[in-house]
Structure 1
């Protein structure tokens, strides 16, 4: 007999989904708003890169730390802090008078967003077990995926008919609802006073990523020979290496390097690095070029990639079931290759733009490949680690995906040859296809089906 959820457990799922929805919604809205932001505030491609990467720097660096904080101080408290911080940052972005204030607001938004996703999943895993927990996570996934559907469309409508500024204020309503629902929750906030928090590690990671990304974004303007470029780049790399070295010795690492001894975990995360770099690159250049190059409105640009999201929602659960039956290796190999074909189909885009023949076939093929890839990829990574450590394994994989997007957007000028004209758009999609092919090869070589490895080490 199927176990039914209590009203409090349903409330937990609703709170977790809304909290994560806030962070995911903003990530999907921003791409369609970039051209309008650039037109109003100036700064061109560099401003657009920083609007995306300022968010990803703090989100990537702090998402691991957020797991430690939620253990030490409680999931509900950390979620409240994240929600309030995200709301304040969103209002700051909406009234930003210049690119600098906007970018600072996006960085603060990323920091707050880092607190939302881990704490929301931890709230589910701490209140439900077994099949009920799996069902709850499935509901959470389905509800948060809705952000991918409505985000670009809502963003486009606001940009076209009101202002890009209102697109960032859309977060305020779900934040207010979630904060109210938290007052109805009777679940006690569990805390571990003995938990250790690696603050220094978080600082090293954040500064290392920030300095390296600054150098990559500003390099086209100043050149590699400028001390303002090579010094931050070298400093960022050094700080990130110090972060990794610290994770080997600190008693409670925010990035447990011992996880990477497991074959499916390390190979799955390498695949994640390449696949999500390609996803971020594709999402950015399609949303921006369709407006600036092809002349579509923000609403139509948001609708353009809707087939990818619909196919992912419709097919992902089926692909996950097939992967569970036959193993993830085939799906993780074929899926990225199909996505690469979809990216290459965008080379059909020409000066005489036609969405139906030049873009839609790519979206359908790309969406099919993404649906084949995502569920098996997640299952392979989390299935290789014992369930007691699935939380940190998920956080690490999430951080890898965010860092992948962070770095590829920072290198956008190198990828496109300096600008996002038609030639740059084509070049970006060739690079995306190459990244996806590498991801497929890594899966074929690295992933194993028959026996899922387990890990018992603590570091």
Structure 2
């Protein structure tokens, strides 16, 4: 593959190790872009209980899921075009689509239109993959690792400030205020990308787009997630359920066969044939997919009302939830920063195994002890430490696993893997918690055993993912990966 690897950081003093004002601004703009999806997801998750009650719907799961489905389907194409026309340019395009979708949702007057808006905004889903790839291209070699770790640890900043912001808006202005804040947040990100972030000069050759491969992969995975989501209503052995799940899996198999024969594949199978890459994507996808999906059930627990005999939610306000989770959010930030430093001395696989274990243990304990502020705060320390390690390690392990010219592709695959597993696990979790639910006036309410089973599901998936860390072979260290990047760009 021939690449034009001229990059802005070639003009920088190679002896300079600090970020400086210019790179600090770029980092802040990319941090906002990288965490925008998470912020909107967090605020939407907090608002879902009020939305479900307002619209009298038992289908609230689709408020978050429909955007995820669009993101999964569009990822292969967005990643491909980013390599051809530029990562920043593609990031601007999908952020614009996100802005339009947020506007549609904010102006919506019924649940169906709200879902249409969330679907359009779903095109912003692959943004994180482009942000990490752009980071590797526009920062000087020795700043790539710290910048990537900082962006990964940005989840902690989001976890700290997001709940307070969400709580204030939701408590004072309701779910409609949350929808309008999404519009404002996306608009700020779009302006920052346009005027602060430089374009990467790294390009792939302009080759024909493998439309068939992209449709088979994106459509197949989307079909599986959708089939799982509808399985409870249709029946798990019904023709519709089996058609969507079976047809989706068949499409993925055909995709593998097609990609091995076309001259310009959407995702080169040879990339996934390398053990370090596929094992890293599998493990990080499982752990991060379960971590993200876990937040949905946790927010239902704390924000759903307490109604004896009907609902065993804790009935907290969003602001109270923010105060309760704040100490662990601070801990997550500190741990992610510390992990970014430790990974230069300790094998990233060992750190990931420790982080995954702590996360699984913490969530398993919460499944049994989630009835008071004290329980959620103190047990949350365990999972908070684990999550801080995991979120910092995911982008770093991708850098360690792929070549510079494969960065966008690698981030795209990892992002898609996490998104698919998040979607499937979220749908399965809603099926699990619905087993003991009560429906009143069109709204589903959940009993205590429902939340317990949901948390145990996520803890089990994270535990399995952690055990699979043993599959990941040793690769280049972060410093060695950065040197390889610098050599290519020189």
State how far apart, in whole Å, the 2-side matches of 1:178 and 1:371 are: 24
CA pair 280-287 structure 1, distance change in 2 beyond 3 A? same
Residue matched to 1:13: 27
**191-200 vs 224-233, which moves further:** 191-200
State how far apart, in whole Å, the 2-side matches of 1:187 and 1:72 are: 16
5+ residue gaps, structure 2: 1-14, 305-312, 438-445, 485-490
State how far apart, in whole Å, the 2-side matches of 1:404 and 1:250 are: 28
Q: Normalising by the residue count of structure 1, what TM-score does the alignment of the two structures yield?
A: 0.87
Residue matched to 2:54: 40
Q: Residue 49 of structure 1 is aligned with which of 42, 61, 79?
A: 61
Q: Residue 232 of structure 1 is aligned with which of 211, 224, 244?
A: 244
State how far apart, in whole Å, the 2-side matches of 1:198 and 1:218 are: 30
State how far apart, in whole Å, the 1-side matches of 2:398 and 2:191 are: 35
Residue matched to 2:462: 436
* Residue pair 2:101, 2:117 contacting (<8 A) in 1 also: yes
Q: Residue 176 of structure 2 is aligned with which of 161, 165, 187?
A: 165
Residue 98 of structure 1, CA deviation: 2.5
5+ residue gaps, structure 1: none
* Residue pair 2:400, 2:476 contacting (<8 A) in 1 also: no
Aligned-residue CA RMSD in angstroms? 2.9
State how far apart, in whole Å, the 1-side matches of 2:200 and 2:406 are: 20
* Residue pair 2:401, 2:475 contacting (<8 A) in 1 also: no
Residue matched to 2:320: 300
State how far apart, in whole Å, the 1-side matches of 2:197 and 2:42 are: 32
Q: Residue 156 of structure 1 is aligned with which of 159, 167, 190?
A: 167
State how far apart, in whole Å, the 2-side matches of 1:450 and 1:224 are: 42
**304-313 vs 135-144, which moves further:** 135-144
Q: Residue 386 of structure 1 is aligned with which of 393, 403, 427?
A: 403
**Count of paired positions:** 448
Q: Residue 446 of structure 1 is aligned with which of 442, 461, 471?
A: 471
* Residue pair 1:343, 1:366 contacting (<8 A) in 2 also: yes
State how far apart, in whole Å, the 1-side matches of 2:396 and 2:156 are: 17
State how far apart, in whole Å, the 1-side matches of 2:337 and 2:380 are: 19
CA pair 20-370 structure 1, distance change in 2 beyond 3 A? closer
Deviations 1:350-379 (A, max 9, x none): 6xx3221x2122211101122233334443
Q: Residue 422 of structure 1 is aligned with which of 448, 458, 470?
A: 448
Residue matched to 1:131: 142
State how far apart, in whole Å, the 1-side matches of 2:140 and 2:255 are: 34
Structure 1 residue 407 corresponds to structure 2 residue 421 = no
State how far apart, in whole Å, the 2-side matches of 1:331 and 1:233 are: 35
State how far apart, in whole Å, the 2-side matches of 1:111 and 1:373 are: 25
* Residue pair 2:150, 2:392 contacting (<8 A) in 1 also: no
Residue 192 of structure 1, CA deviation: 5.7
**91-100 vs 426-435, which moves further:** 91-100
State how far apart, in whole Å, the 1-side matches of 2:233 and 2:185 are: 40
What secondary structure is seen at the aligned counterpart in 1 of 2:336? helix
State how far apart, in whole Å, the 1-side matches of 2:34 and 2:264 are: 26
State how far apart, in whole Å, the 2-side matches of 1:387 and 1:242 are: 29
